[in-house]
Amino acid sequence: MLAQASMGAPAKGSWGSYQARWGEGNKGIRYPLGAMRLIFGERDVPYQEARVVVLPVPYDLSLSFLPGARRGPEAILLASRELEPFLLELSVAPEEVGIYAAEPVPFVAGSAEKSHILIREAALAHLLAGKFVVALGGDHSITHPLVMAHREALGEFSILHIDAHADLYPEWQGSVYSHASPFYRLLQEGFPLVQVGIRAMDQDSLGLAREKGVGLFPAHRIHREGLPLKAILAALGRRVYISLDFDALDPAFMPSVGTPLPGGLSYRQVVDLLEAVFQEKEVVGMDFVELSPNGQFHAEMTAAQLVYHAIGLKGLQAGWLSPL
């Protein structure tokens, strides 16, 4: 339900009004979310009572192929309203952790650097308020400022990167702020990195991954041998930040991404991976990026359900929820 609508925003924020706006294309930097606050799910709580802050980051200026990930957060928030609050698999209602959907982070047209500073500052403010932050992208470049904010607030951790693409390019199309580069930059920052579901990387990236000791679990091996949960968990440290690109999922499950690639993971495999990580590790933060809505509501429901499931796993891990 719409918490608030201002001038110019659709009166009810209904799915139909969203679809109507979807066809309008990009009319500049003003993202529709900027005009209103959407909530996650059905149950809004005051900021003070929320343990989890969902942070919309509708930034997609670094995309190199299909544009549109700026509409990802809004699509996930709207789809989240259609979810069943009780999650049968976990036997909890994840919303009981208290979820607050924050104002979307604004971005500065023409400056990736300044936009990234805004993202880092926004995440840091919520982390310093003691919130568990679940960021919704936006393109994958946002992971760099998000991770840096988490380190500043919470100290060291390793990164679990679930994606079709290794995103290890030193730069792409002349920019170090590209969505193809965040994990190159985070390796330079010294973060231990584990990548799962990968099926696109060049020789230089593979060389870099080997040199830096990246735990690489490519999709083709997972399809041949099954999900190597033990090895993945062993490659991660005790504390983990999870960054999930929706294109890690096979396009059959997730057709609405900016850079789709066949041969991906199933929804079930991703859930099993998340579940294992939450059982064994302390998860310090998460981002879900690169949903690029293209009118296929089932993809947006899938994205929202995955985010909601992950929030439930965090709630169980932290002891905020007890199974029925």
The residue ranges that bind Mn ion (CB under 5 A) are 163-165, 245, 247
Residue 4 Cβ vs Mn ion, minimum distance, rounded to whole Å:
33
Quote the CA–CA distance of 93 and 141 in Å, as a whole number.
32
Quote the CA–CA distance of 210 and 168 in Å, as a whole number.
12
Q: Are 196 and 203 in contact (CB under 8 A)?
A: no
Residue 164 Cβ vs Mn ion, minimum distance, rounded to whole Å:
5
Using DSSP, state whether 237 is helix, strand or coil.
coil
Considering beta carbons, is residue 34 or 264 the nearer one to Mn ion? 264
Considering beta carbons, is residue 100 or 183 the nearer one to Mn ion? 183
Residue 183 Cβ vs Mn ion, minimum distance, rounded to whole Å:
10
Residue 251 Cβ vs Mn ion, minimum distance, rounded to whole Å:
12
- Tally Cβ neighbours within 10 Å of residue 231: 12
Residue 311 Cβ vs Mn ion, minimum distance, rounded to whole Å:
22
Considering beta carbons, is residue 131 or 165 the nearer one to Mn ion? 165
Residue 253 Cβ vs Mn ion, minimum distance, rounded to whole Å:
14
For tokens 């930059």, the residue is: 185
Quote the CA–CA distance of 262 and 306 in Å, as a whole number.
20
Considering beta carbons, is residue 131 or 140 the nearer one to Mn ion? 140
Beta-strand relationship, 36-37 and 4-5: antiparallel
- By CB atoms closer than 10 A (0-12, 13-18, 19+), residue 200 is middle
φ, ψ dihedrals at 55, nearest 5°: -110, 105
Considering beta carbons, is residue 98 or 197 the nearer one to Mn ion? 197
Reference 199, options 215, 219, 216; nearest CA is 219
Reference 317, options 267, 266, 282; nearest CA is 282
Quote the CA–CA distance of 115 and 207 in Å, as a whole number.
31
Considering beta carbons, is residue 17 or 175 the nearer one to Mn ion? 175
Tokens of 244: 């999930």
Considering beta carbons, is residue 69 or 101 the nearer one to Mn ion? 69
Residue 258 Cβ vs Mn ion, minimum distance, rounded to whole Å:
8
